[in-house]
Amino acid sequence: MRRALVVDDELPNRELLESILSVKNYDVITISSGKEALSQDIFNIDLITVDY
């Protein structure tokens, strides 16, 4: 299964993207901060979405 990392400080945005990507067969990890995202193993992630 493909893996996606969703980074957004707004919970509704994270939930929406998680819902959409799950339907597309992604295993979704949601995180609320860029700092926390940097601690993830990004080499095993196929798609990363980040807001700014």
Task: Name the residue ranges covered by the structural domains of the chain.
Answer: 2-50
Question: Measured between alpha carbons, how far is 16 from 18 in angstroms, rounded to an integer?
Answer: 5
**Bridge partners for 7 per DSSP:** 31, 50
Q: How far is CA 9 from the centre of its chain?
A: 11
How do residues 1-52 score in pLDDT, each as one tens digit?
A: 899 999 999 999 999 999 999 999 999 999 999 888 888 887 889 999 998 8
What global pTM score does this model have?
0.89
Question: Measured between alpha carbons, how far is 16 from 25 in angstroms, rounded to an integer?
Answer: 15
CATH topology of domain 2-50: Rossmann fold (3.40.50)
